[in-house]
A and B are shown apart, each in its own frame.
Chain A
Amino acid sequence: MSGAGRLPCPCGAGGGAPFRGNRPKDMFELIGIPPQALFGQLLLGLINGAFYALLSLGLSVIFGLLNVINFTHGAQYMLGAFAAWGLLSYAGLSYWPALILAPIAVAIVGLAIERLFLRRLYGYDHLYGLLLTFGIATILEGVFRQRYGSSGLPYPIPGLLSGGHNLGFMFLPNYRAWVVVVSLAVCLATWFLIERTRLGSYLRAATENAPLVQAFGINVPRMITLTYAFGVGLAGLAGAMAAPIYQVSPLMGSNLIIVVFAVVVIGGMGSIMGSILTGFGLGIIEGFTKVFYPEASNTVVFVIMAIVLLIKPAGLFGQTR
């Protein structure tokens, strides 16, 4: 009924058994797992983990500091990718300027969303925030699907980063290594910003006691708006980085968002370091699962999430609110 289509999952998930011998005769049945396959999948897992970490970082920042569950995150990730594509197609701007401009563009959209819509719901149960952002996500996805269809648009890998290196156990494309590097850098920079700088401490204080912080003369509503915009900008950055390797498609955010939620919940809603570690960790665990029990690779994150929620509902690194 919902007409959403089977959504492409850029998380590299869903393999079947690697060497399923369902052909008669002449079958080459693999008994052990060669180290080559293992390391290769782990590295792929790390790359996926980089995206998970980057996305869950934005979500975590927004929930941790604003108490808002931003369901629009997937759509904002998609906007980032489309912004990069648009900048190339209409303005001829290559990947490098797009890497700066696309997140800013998406952040501005986030600003508008917070100002116009989210702000009205702060007094209510934060489940309404979830529903609102869910609605906005649906609108964004629908508009883009109408305009661009579902099959996806191509975006080239920037020349500087094309090609790759043969690591022996696998061939590592340069661009994918770049993704891991950028993701790590941005994650650590954000963590530092929030946990170790004065601005970050204002933000954290505002979450605990907004009126008091406001009484000190700090413009809390503006801080909140900027924080939301920042978290959304992170999603836009992830999208711009995803454009060269995953199809730029209106559906690219939808499936990813659910996994990212799981990451944030496992890591601890509100713990920046928790999200980063869980993001990368989950990517690696998924990689492992794909080697030993591929059928479960899609489900493993949800199993972990259910277990964590039952034992430690605030998440591995979070504090109960």
Chain B
Amino acid sequence: MKRIALAAVLAAALAAPFAAYPVFLMTALCFAIFACAFNLLVGYAGLLSFGHAAYFGLASYATALAMKQWGATPEVGLLVGTAAGAALGLVFGALAIRRQGIYFAMITLALSQMVFFYALQAKWTGGEDGIQAVPRRVLFGAIDLGSDLTMYYVVLAVFLFCIGVVYRAIHSPFGQVLKAIRENEPRAISLGYNVDRYKLLAFVLSATLAGLGGATKALVTHIASLTDVQWQMSGEVVLMTLVGGLGTVVGPVVGAFVIVTMQNYLASLGEWVLVIQGLIFVVAVLAFRRGIVGEVLAVWQLRRARRLELAAERAALEAAPPR
């Protein structure tokens, strides 16, 4: 059942650029990567980072710089961006994980604001203009990324890779320990796990993937700008993950697509998009904390439990028919 669904989604993904504007799809995919990376930290490790835009945005700038000024090829460009995200994640993560809960969130916010003001003032980031006209060039010496269609498949591949990494990380002993830490940190410590090491690893992994998302986005949109490092961007990824479903694998993907689609197709409504986003946030927090995917899964579980219950009842009836 699951396999068929997966195959159908994959087929749809492969055919999608013929039905919708490829750049829009690619942007959604980049944000999906960002959201998945964020979800790894918040949904699985239980750490709400309110400054994740720093890794996404800095990577975007780094890739743009590499492509435009250093004449790099896209694979090098992506690597530079991802490495930037990872490095920043390592430094910031080491600082932030020393605290928990709301203090952790506030530290990440402070650190990301520093990145924002750095980006605003540094010469190489171009301030208000950003880094424009970022070239895509030729990937691995063979694939010309100039065409949006080709680029789409490359981005899809990157996205699938990221989701694969997240999935493997979650369904691994490492992932189980993270879950344990999230549920009951003191107990995890008492069991002998080096909790800080695990949290840092999760943080760096999350920052790295967020960086990959940002790097890809710079190539897709040909621009790296201050929007990518603003704290509102950090808020948006929280929104995407919350709407899609915290702690589910595909939740953030769904959330990212919903939000990006909304921003794109409701753009003519101007500022009402902000209002709608806020409303979704409020409703999600008050009533749908599990997010779209979370709710769907919950309903599914419920149905399944119901079905099993019915089946058990029937079996019991058959085994001992009423006299």
Contacts and interface: CB of A to CB of B under 8 A. Distances in A.
**Are both chains from one complex?**
yes
A140 B275 CA distance: 7
A298 interface: yes
Interface residues of A, number: 45
A117 B235 CA distance: 19
Interface in B267-322: 270-282, 284-286, 289
B189 to A, nearest CB: 18
A132 B286 contact: yes
Given A1-B260, A265-B106, A138 B281 contact: yes
B238 interface: yes
B128 interface: yes
Contacts of A125: 101
Interface string B156-177: 0000000000000000000000
Given A258-B231, A299-B113, A310 B279 contact: no
Contacts of A298: 117, 120
B243 to A, nearest CB: 11
B102 A126 contact: yes
B278 A135 contact: yes
A134 B281 contact: yes
A220 interface: no
Nearest to B235: A134
A142 B289 CA distance: 23
B164 to A, nearest CB: 25
Contact of A4 (B48, B110, B113, B232): B232
Given A3-B273, A134-B281, A310-B107, 4 more contacts: A4-B227, A69-B102, A127-B105, A299-B117
Interface of A: 1-4, 6, 14, 69, 117, 120-121, 125-128, 130-132, 134-143, 145-146, 254, 258, 261-262, 265, 269, 295, 298-299, 302-303, 305-306, 309-310, 313
23 contacts: A1-B27, A1-B260, A3-B273, A4-B232, A4-B274, A69-B102, A117-B286, A130-B102, A131-B285, A132-B281, A132-B285, A132-B286, A135-B282, A135-B285, A139-B282, A142-B278, A146-B271, A265-B103, A295-B121, A305-B110, A310-B107, A313-B99, A313-B103
